[in-house]
Structure 1
Amino acid sequence: MPLETTEMDAVFKALADPTRRLLLDRLRERNGQTLGELCERLGMARQSATQHLDVLVRAHLVTVVRRGRERLHYLNPALIHEIEERWISTFDKPRLGAISAIKNRAEEYAMTGTPTSVPTYVYVTYIRASSEHVWRALTDADLTARYWGHANVSDWEPGSRWEHRRTDGSGQVDLVGRVLETEPPTRLVITFGESADAPGDASIVTFLVEPHHDIVRLTVTHENLADATALREISHGWPAVLANLKSLLETGEVLPRAPWEMSPVHP
């Protein structure tokens, strides 16, 4: 579904200011920064930075995640992705992806010094549904099987194991994890990405469901990623899974083709 006119206006208004674009660039370099860290890196007064960040948050280009008393700022790629989908054709994507890959590889060769850490991934989407319906979609094995292609099976109690089971009748488990926190119907925290055959250090996924009138804002935060390859994989996977979830809750049907089967733009 294309962006509404008012949403698009807010996005382009936010991007029109060079200071706000610089803030986005700094978050792209290192996601999850506090206001103080952003001010320090930009040499900007807190009041000025706050005003620019407020514009980016209202345009849904930046998401704020609370960690105790801190407010961490993350890029939200959802709207930029929708803009790309509107103006970049399917036939242009492979060519643009190849050009981007050449540019990125050249920049990698030119860089010196120690490598930067892999940032936390944050994705935000808005769904026309109740928080109870979204919670059920996240925790019901039959529903996850419909929009994810795997059934997520657990009793979803803190400390319990959850399994990512295939739906081809084999019953094979591809991933396992543990439930860390459960606050129905608004917050679920799980470990993610362990192999069923070789459990070990896992990344952490937090689902935050925030209701507002007849819609919810679903924020998915993926932390403790192993490396840049893991970041690329989940950056392709989460938008696809969540688009299918959104379609199922809003229309009663998943997308006509599994979105994760599409090749990502960047290799």
Structure 2
Amino acid sequence: MTPEPTQMDLVFKALADSTRRLLLDRLRENNGQTLSELCERLGMARQSATQHLDVLQRANLVAVARRGRERLHYLNPVPIHEIEQRWIAAFDRPRLQMLAAIKNEAEEQAMSTTTIPDYVYVTYIRASAEQVWQALTDADLSARYWGHANVSDWQPGSPWEHRRTDGSGAADVVGEVLATEPPKRLVITFEDSPEEAGRRDPSVVTFLLEPHQDIVRLTVTHENLPNQDMYRGIAHGWPAVLANLKSLLETGDVLPQSPWEVPA
């Protein structure tokens, strides 16, 4: 009689396949991807990717969270950590036990919080996807509805700056372009304290443009926020900025007053 496979058996079975290891690598580089995004990056058919993701999910190496109709896939490092504890830590137990205790406490705190993006805002704009994309990436247009010019060549790996329009050229926000798929998806890091750049992991903003006939659904996801102060700031700021963007594209002009000046 063949014994039932243990959870550890499922982990090793999942890791034995090079394609599944590649899927984990892609999630490590950019966590929280949809099935379509993973298929695009790997050139893989949806059916094949689904089968591999099911194996990874049963092994608890991948967790799934829903966002509307989408299923977002997240890398779960816990099983790998358990392997390390069982077969590696024993060779240097005194030092590694101390490090593991610190890591376990951090992981328990992380597991107690949701992996769903910290802030999500959805708006519908009467415009084409190309028009919305241009408004997000054109320095002159962003200066009109945002009060700052978004300056970059918008290529993956390039820097971008959120520059003041007062002639000083000062940048109040800086970051890096992580992914660009015009006119569908733009991913950038977002550091609202340039002096802190490099000292902490930056937050990440994703713009997702989904056209439907004469309108576009624009979803802005802001993840990895460092503190509650930044959360409160972007929760007040994003709706104001996007309302101004919507007004500009639909009427040809921005709102009569700067919406971010309305008290929170």
The TM-score with structure 2 as length reference comes to 0.57
Match of 1:151 among 149, 152, 163: 149
Q: How many residues align?
A: 162
Q: Specify the alignment match of 1:207 in structure 2.
A: 207
- Is 2:197 the counterpart of 1:192? no
| Residue 246 of structure 1: how far off its partner (Å) | 0.1
Separation in structure 1 between the aligned mates of residue 121 and residue 70 of structure 2, nearest angstrom: 11
Separation in structure 2 between the aligned mates of residue 252 and residue 138 of structure 1, nearest angstrom: 15
- Is 2:138 the counterpart of 1:140? yes
What runs of 5+ residues in structure 2 fail to find an aligned partner? 1-31, 33-65, 76-108
Q: Specify the alignment match of 2:167 in structure 1.
A: 169
Return closer, same or farther for 1:178/1:66 CA change in 2, 3 Å cut-off.
Answer: farther
Q: Secondary structure at the match of 1:221?
A: strand
Return closer, same or farther for 1:180/1:213 CA change in 2, 3 Å cut-off.
Answer: same
What runs of 5+ residues in structure 1 fail to find an aligned partner? 1-31, 33-56, 71-113
Q: Which has the higher contact order (CA 8 A, sep 6+)?
A: 1
Query: For 1:56-114, what per-residue CA distance to the aligned partner results, in whole angstroms no more than 9, with x for missing partners?
Result: x9xxxx744442499xxxxxxxxxxxxxxxxxxxxxxxxxxxxxxxxxxxxxxxxxxx8
Return closer, same or farther for 1:117/1:68 CA change in 2, 3 Å cut-off.
Answer: closer
Return closer, same or farther for 1:127/1:170 CA change in 2, 3 Å cut-off.
Answer: same
Q: Specify the alignment match of 2:246 in structure 1.
A: 246
Q: Aligned ranges for residues 1-267 of structure 1 at < 5 Å?
A: 63-68=68-73, 117=113, 120-200=118-198, 201-264=201-264
Moved more, 118-127 or 252-261: 118-127
Q: Secondary structure at the match of 1:156?
A: coil
Separation in structure 2 between the aligned mates of residue 233 and residue 194 of structure 1, nearest angstrom: 10
| Residue 230 of structure 1: how far off its partner (Å) | 1.6
Separation in structure 2 between the aligned mates of residue 233 and residue 69 of structure 1, nearest angstrom: 27
| Residue 123 of structure 1: how far off its partner (Å) | 0.4
Q: Secondary structure at the match of 2:195?
A: coil
RMSD: 2.4
Separation in structure 1 between the aligned mates of residue 186 and residue 180 of structure 2, nearest angstrom: 5
Separation in structure 2 between the aligned mates of residue 65 and residue 231 of structure 1, nearest angstrom: 24
Task: Give the greater-gyration-radius structure (CA).
Answer: 2
- Counterpart code for 1:167: T
Separation in structure 2 between the aligned mates of residue 221 and residue 65 of structure 1, nearest angstrom: 14
Q: Secondary structure at the match of 1:197?
A: helix
